[in-house]
Structure 1
Amino acid sequence: MKRLTLQQEIEIAEGNIKGLLHFQAFHEDNEEVQMALLEWAKELKRLKGLAEVKTHKNGFEYTEKVTVRGRDRYLLNGEIVALQCIACKDAFELGGFSKNKKGVAGKYSQCKNCDRKQTSQWTKNNPERKQAQNKRNSKRWYNDNKAHKLATHHNWRAEQLSLKATLTSEMIEELSWSRQGRCFLTGRADVELDIDHALPLSRGGGSTLGNLILIDARLNQMKGQQTLIEFLERPEVQAIVDPAHVEETLRMLANYNSMRVQAYELHVEQVAEKADRERKKERQKLKKQLKVIK
């Protein structure tokens, strides 16, 4: 049978007194009712005396301590506010225990301190198993957060060159599902895909949804620092790519940049040429500085 809390016992006593007072209103001379009222009044006084707020040595307040299966629970007005750790036998507020849906008050039976000590000791005694566990967790995290990782990486690369960096994990996922895992240029699904900047970062492109495509890793290596437009003009590339997929890709990039295809191609050419001129100026400036040093 489940033990009643002190608060529940007080509520029962108050309910009985109310019931007896109501009964007494119609039976004023009933001595048994009067005796019962006195007994319940004494019981209520006793229970409320037990319900005085006490302060534990660890700083939390409670009105009742209940022991269940050898483990203390501390209640404040009927609610659990602290628990005893089964390892160190000390009592702590609920915040001192990690979450566990199946545990008492949704907490583990050991306090966080004892958990840390136990984990530390296990790690010390099992270094190889801990290393294997970390490797599994790292791989699982990467697989679960691959889109976030890619977005962060490409944004970082763009930021190093003071270029636009607005990618999110949702954009990477949108890019991945837009062609059902197919290469944006060939339409093939049986190849390893790489994220490529249509306008390379080195030539003024940014890490934005309107500058990224998914293409065959081998094509990405062939492309190098060329813009997508320059790359598609190469005869050997034209023999590999699928015209329908190329057209769809160019239309997609133009739409993301709020342009028509021809305007987008001209825009890419102008930005790349400007970046090339600036890079050439920097090289010439560096050569002059080296001559002065010599």
Structure 2
Amino acid sequence: MKTRLLALSLCGTCLLGTSLTAQAVAYDVLWWDSTPSYSGQAPDSNRQAMSDYLTNFGGGGQFNSNYVSSETPGTLAAHLGANSYDVIVFDATSASAKFNAADITAIQNHYSSKSNLLLDGSLYIRSINYNSTTTFPGPNGATGGLTANEVYQLGLRGGGIMIGTDHSGFQTDANQVLGGLVTGAAFSGITYPSTDGVFYGQDLLNSLTAIAAVDVFNHWDSVDTQAIAATGAFTDFLGNSITLYSQVDVADEPGGGTKFSYISTSWQPGSGTTDVTDPNPGGGGNGTVPEPGTLLLLGAGLLAMRRAARTA
């Protein structure tokens, strides 16, 4: 009976397309903020605005995001001992350690069943008191849309972990989390974005909502402090091979040199590229990209499977 109900649910998804997405179970998200306030540049209210944006996205129903601010080692382990989530977002930009061994074990336990990773070297500047482009949700709502697309992609794949930070010198807590999961992987460096850059596929630009690459670029360009996200082949703490793929590569000013990954994931992006200066919402101007309807059908199908599993 369980198999038949699941098959019917998936069949309904194929027939109704996006209509089931809004009715499916929302992704449960933990937004864990270990970032200091830095004399009011990054107050808790700014960081919580990103979590609340997820909960309220599209009128609600897509995400249930729980914001917790703590710089005290051990509090994460206690929290995860009493709560479970589909996606954990680590808002982690600190020069000092914020997690202990118990916290890392709790993170590893989550990863053991939800092993998708997204690394974002630009999360810190997304909601800080600095200039008009760092006021969340950013130019034309682009940084809010980027955040929603990132978390959605993790949920779509069955859950996982997003780690966000800033440039070198302030990556200690982010690298505590990442290093506890993937041996040898780390955020590094500081970047100075030029217009010589591309997004790969549509995961970041047009999965849950369409945003313009140039709006994200203008936000990055106004601060010039992105971290380099780890890419390449690694082994996780379970002994499994894992490859981290770049979702967006940008060369430092004036361009023409080595490109650095600002955001990387444990899944390979789709085909096609979009220049970082592309003004079209959704991008996809430089090649073949998946149709948005295909992504929505996939998302609805997986969400239907989650709902069936929860109610079985």
TM-score (norm 1): 0.24
More helix by share: 1
Structure with higher RCO (Cα < 8 A, 6+ apart) = 2
The structure with the largest alpha-carbon Rg is: 1
More strand by share: 2
